[in-house]
Amino acid sequence: MSLYCGITRRRKSFWCCRLLSTYVTKTRYLSELKEDDDACKKAQQTGAFYLFHNLAPLLQKSEHQYLAPQHSLLASLQKPEMETELKGSFIGLRKALFQLNVKDASLLSTAQALLRWHDAHQFCSRSGQPTKKNVAGSKRVCPSNKIIYYPQMTPVVITLVSDGTRCLLARQSSFPKGMYSALAGFCDIGESLEEAVRREVAEEVGLEVERLQYSASQHWPFPNGALMIACHATVKPGQTEIQMNLRELEAAAWFSHDEVATALRKDNPSYQQQNGAFPFWLPPKLAIAHQLIKEWVEKPTCSILPA
Ligand SMILES: NC(=O)C1=CN([C@@H]2O[C@H](COP(=O)(O)OP(=O)(O)OC[C@H]3O[C@@H](n4cnc5c(N)ncnc54)[C@H](OP(=O)(O)O)[C@@H]3O)[C@@H](O)[C@H]2O)C=CC1
Ligand SMILES: [Mg+2]
């Protein structure tokens, strides 16, 4: 059994010629910890840690949310004793993510992605020798040929398509029942963001993007650590007939502004209607899909650039 710890971010002051902002000071300190193993070991003595077991963080359940307690360096205990001692349980991040506060969700997502990457990069792909992690965990090095491996994220585009008055939402069979989201897809190697958006929309719903606009991005821990890049896109008003790719999607449809605005105000409904169907609902607030949809509801006709 293995227990892993993810170090949280701590602030430290430097002597400088001019006063640096807190953000710059903190950023430089974190950068120093990545490069200086001794400084990092020292920081760990007073650092605060989140605990993980098999990629599941230790959480405490309160009424409607999970709390992620932080700990100082602990003696290594077995999982059951650890849960009893710390009054929590190791819970899958997928289950808990939307019931955490924003700061804990972000730090736990980063920590889990990093732990998963380390677990999958134990050996050098050139020499086959075991790689060695630096103290901060920001890279792994092959001792025999000195190749450095850095943690990777996969770029994923997520696009909310609009025809000017309606927006297009879709669902995969793996989504929770009744939930619809914007179109998402992994970027192919060599593609620009714009090309990935155009290709994914064409592949999944058979439509041609006319214009697009970048909105925001988000780290997403699933399946292996992705950078979600969110965009708004429009299609020509006369060319809106959906030709759904059945290998990727279970359903795709145009939704009116009213339908989407109403769904945004509702929480995840876990009940089934009398006709056996599940009510239409949208991804929770923490997901970038939610933010993208909210932006469209607030400003459906925002100016969008040619693709
Ligand atoms: N944060 C948010 O708001 C949202 C996040 N997402 C995330 O976006 C991601 C991508 O969406 P999805 O529609 O599934 O993607 P795609 O539409 O690209 O389809 C997924 C399929 O693409 C193939 N694929 C190609 N490249 C990769 C890669 N690098 N890693 C894994 N699979 C790859 C796999 O097929 P095969 O297995 O056949 O090889 C996979 O099943 C998902 O992981 C999802 O969690 C999605 C919606 C909202
Ligand atoms: Mg997809």
What are the pLDDT digits (tens) for 111-154?
999 999 999 999 999 999 999 999 999 999 999 999 999 999 99
- When divided into structural domains, the chain yields a total of 2
Poorest-confidence range of 70-74, 248-252, 256-260, 296-300? Answer: 70-74
Tens of pLDDT, residues 148-164: 999 999 999 999 999 98
Q: How many whole angstroms from 187 Cα to the centroid of ligand 1?
A: 9
Segment 89-110, tens digit of pLDDT: 999 999 999 899 999 999 999 9
305 part of a folded domain: no
Residue nearest (by alpha carbon) to ligand 1 atom 8 = 184
Surrounding residues of ion ligand 2, Cβ less than 5 A: 184-185
pLDDT band at 1 (very low <50, low <70, confident <90, very high): very low
Within a domain: residue 254? yes
Tell me the residue range of the domain where 188 lies.
154-267+280-298
| Number of the ligand closest to the Cα of 293 | 1
Same structural domain, 96 and 198: no
Same structural domain, 94 and 158: no
Bridge-partner residues for 177, per DSSP?
none
Task: Identify whether residues 99 and 175 lie together within a single domain.
Answer: no
Asked, for residue 86, whether it belongs to a domain, the answer is: yes
Tell me the C-alpha distance between 97 and 69, whole Å: 14
| Cα dihedral 138→8→47→143 (10° resolution) | -10
Indicate if 112 and 158 belong to the same structural domain.
no
Same domain, 293 and 208: yes
Q: What is the pLDDT of residue 270?
A: 66
DSSP letter at 99?
A: G
Tell me the per-residue pLDDT of 179-213, one tens digit each, with 9 for 90 and over. Answer: 999 999 999 999 999 999 999 999 999 999 999 99
158 and 111, same domain (yes or no): no
| 148 belongs to a structural domain | no
| Ligand 2 centroid distance, CA of 260 (Å) | 20
Residue 27 lies in a domain: yes
- Give the pTM: 0.88
Residue 222 beta carbon below 6 angstroms from any ligand 1 atom: yes
Instruction: Return the beta strands (E) in the chain as ranges.
Output: 3-7, 49-53, 56-61, 66-67, 89-90, 132-133, 140-141, 148-149, 154-162, 167-171, 183-186, 209-220, 226-235, 251-255, 305-306
For residue 218, give the ligand 1 atom closest to its CA: 1
User: Is residue 162 located within the same domain as residue 254?
Assistant: yes
ipTM of this model?
A: 0.93
Q: Has residue 45 been placed in a domain? A: yes
Q: Which atom of ligand 1 is nearest to the CA of 172?
A: 13
Using 50, 70 and 90 to split pLDDT, how confident is the model at 72? confident
